[in-house]
């Protein structure tokens, strides 16, 4: 039987920052900073999109590649910040933009505040809207969507579903749906935690299923980042 060690931050791709250089500041007060340094490995597709750089305990930057020498693994990265990041000489950890930076902290932080909680149905508010582009959902064209929010506004991101009638004009008027918020989504696997089932809820009203809690939180294992 193979026993797998938990994945830690030290297993993530690393970027060693040599210097930080200040660029121009926008009218909104954000300055572009250049981070000059070197990666410890080649990361596929890193030059095609932005990504997270994790710093120390629960800090991060949103960065993108300005220049990259894949052979030498040296790079100039940019980030827009109001305050200069004090990261020269530090090791930062790469995280794919598929995840949120807090997904890492919610697993590592023993004081995050997870509480085993039963999901209860809540009232929802629905509004219809028309999207500018056509989407194909289950083989049919969809332009009219219904946006669903918790009526009590206590948490949970808006949910968007194809409207039942795609031929009728969208109804933008908010309407109450009693018990319409009947499940929560796990932050890590996106699976449903249905009404009546138990999961883990944090003080920010984020949820995690039993399976992900046991697999990742209990052993402080960050291997969920490999499950794309």
* Segment 152-170 mean pLDDT: 87
Q: What is the pTM of this model?
A: 0.85
Q: Which residue matches tokens 């932050």?
A: 187
Answer whether 149's CB lies under 8 Å from 124's CB.
Answer: yes
Residue 228: is its pLDDT beyond 90? no
Rounded Cα–Cα distance for residues 181 and 94 (Å): 35
CATH code of 104-121+182-228, in short, is: 3.30.60
pLDDT digits (tens, 9 = 90+) for 174-225: 999 999 999 999 999 999 999 999 999 999 999 999 999 999 999 999 999 9
Determine the 3-state secondary structure of 211 from DSSP: helix
* Domain(s) of CATH 2.40.30: residues in the chain: 9-97
Q: Which residues of 84-102 are buried (b: 16+ CB within 10 A; e: fewer)?
A: ebebeebbbbbbbeebebb
Please identify which residue in the block is written with the tokens 């995840």.
Answer: 99
pLDDT at residue 1 is higher than 60: no
* Listed residue (104, 108, 6, 17) closest to 52, CA to CA: 104
Render 136-149 in DSSP notation, one character per residue. Answer: EETTEEEEEEEEEE
- Written as six digits, the tokens of 59 are 């800090």
CATH 3.30.60 occupies which residues in the chain?
104-121+182-228
Domain 9-97 has CATH 1.10.357: no
Q: What DSSP assignment string belongs to 118-175?
A: E---EEEEEEEEEEEEEEEETTEEEEEEEEEEETT-SS---EEEE-S-SSSPP--S-E
Tell me what pLDDT residue 3 has: 63
Chain-centroid distance, C-alpha 183: 19
| pLDDT tens digits for range 82-136 | 999 999 999 999 999 999 999 999 999 999 999 999 999 999 999 999 999 999 9
């Amino acid at each position: 039987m193979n026993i797998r060690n938990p994945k830690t931050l030290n297993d993530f791709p690393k970027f060693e920052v040599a210097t930080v250089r200040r660029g121009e500041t926008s009218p909104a007060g954000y300055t572009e900073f250049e981070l000059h340094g070197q990666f410890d490995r080649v990361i596929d597709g890193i030059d095609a999109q932005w990504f997270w750089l994790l710093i120390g305990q629960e800090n991060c930057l949103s960065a993108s590649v300005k220049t990259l020498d894949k052979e030498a693994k040296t790079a100039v990265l940019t980030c827009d910040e109001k305050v200069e990041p004090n990261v020269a000489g530090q090791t930062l950890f790469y995280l794919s933009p598929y995840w949120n930076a807090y997904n890492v902290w919610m697993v590592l932080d023993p004081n995050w505040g997870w509480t085993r909680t039963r999901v209860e149905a809540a009232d929802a508010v629905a509004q219809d809207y028309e999207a500018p582009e056509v989407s194909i959902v289950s083989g049919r064209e969809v332009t009219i969507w219904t946006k669903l929010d918790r009526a009590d506004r206590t948490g949970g991101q808006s949910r968007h579903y194809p409207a039942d009638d795609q031929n009728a004009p969208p109804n933008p008027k908010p309407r109450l749906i009693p018990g319409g918020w009947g499940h929560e989504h796990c932050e890590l696997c996106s699976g449903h935690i249905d009404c009546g089932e138990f999961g883990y809820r944090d003080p920010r009203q984020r949820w995690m299923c039993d399976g992900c809690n046991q697999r990742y939180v209990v052993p402080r294992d960050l291997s969920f980042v490999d499950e794309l």
